[in-house]
Amino acid sequence: MKSPPRPGVRLLTVNLILLTAIVALLLYSGSYWSNFFGGPYLSDRTLFDTGWVGQMERNGKPLYADKFFAMPVRDRFLLVMADSPEEGRKLVGSLYRISSPVEKQVFQSAQKEHPEWKGKLLPVMINGKAAFKVVGYLGLATLLPMLTISMVNIARAVVKLSQ
C-alpha cells in the first residue's frame, strides 16, 4: 500500500510550478519590463510629418484623429503614430506590423506624398498613443501578489518538510 505524501510536498510542488511560471513569464517579456521601468527613451532624430491624419467617425462626428510621422532609421523610415513630433520622439509604444486598413492608407499616402520614400518605409510602426504602461501596471497588480503568495507558501512547505 502506498503511503500518503508528507505534509507540505503538494504545497511545495504547486508553488514551485507557480513560481517557475511567473519567472518564465517575466524572462519572456524582459524587454517590455525594461522599457516599462526605464522608458521612455528619447530619440534624437527628427520626425517628418507625413501629412496624413487617420480619423475615426461615428454618425458623422469625429471620435479621434491620429497623426502619423516618419522617423529616419538608417536609410529607411519608421511610421510613428503620435499627437505631435515631440511626443513621437518618446519611444514608448507597441511596435507592430502595418496591417489595419487605416495604417495601410497612411503607408500608401505617405509614399504618394513623398515619392523619395518609396520602398524605404518599414513594414512596422510604433503606436505612440497606445496605453503602453497600462499592461505593465495590470501585470504588476497580478504578478506581485501571486509571487508573494508563492514565496510564502514555499517557505511554509519547507518548514513543514523539515519537521
pLDDT tens for residues 46-81? 788 877 776 666 777 766 677 888 888 888 888 888
Query: What's the number of domains the chain is made of?
Result: 2
Same domain, 56 and 94: yes
Mean of pLDDT values over 9-13:
88
Same domain, 58 and 119: yes
- The pLDDT, as a whole number, for residue 55 is 67
**Degrees to nearest 5, angle at CA 35 with 29 and 38:** 130
Same domain, 149 and 98: no
- Give domain status of residue 54, yes or no: yes
Sequence-ordered list of residues with C-beta below 8 angstroms from that of 38, at least 6 positions apart, any chain: none
Long-range contacts of 93-98 (CB under 8 A, 24+ apart): 93/126, 93/127, 93/128, 93/129, 93/130, 93/132, 94/126, 94/127, 94/130, 94/132, 95/124, 95/125, 95/126, 96/124, 96/125, 96/127, 97/123, 97/124, 98/123, 98/124, 98/125
Same domain, 84 and 156: no
Mean of pLDDT values over 1-19:
81
Residue-wise pLDDT tens digits, 129-151: 777 778 889 999 999 999 999 99
Q: How far from chain centre, in Å, is Cα 130?
A: 9
Same domain, 62 and 112: yes
Residue-wise pLDDT tens digits, 84-106: 777 767 766 677 787 766 666 77
Boundaries of domain holding 152:
9-38+135-162
Mean of pLDDT values over 101-120:
73
- The model carries a pTM of 0.60
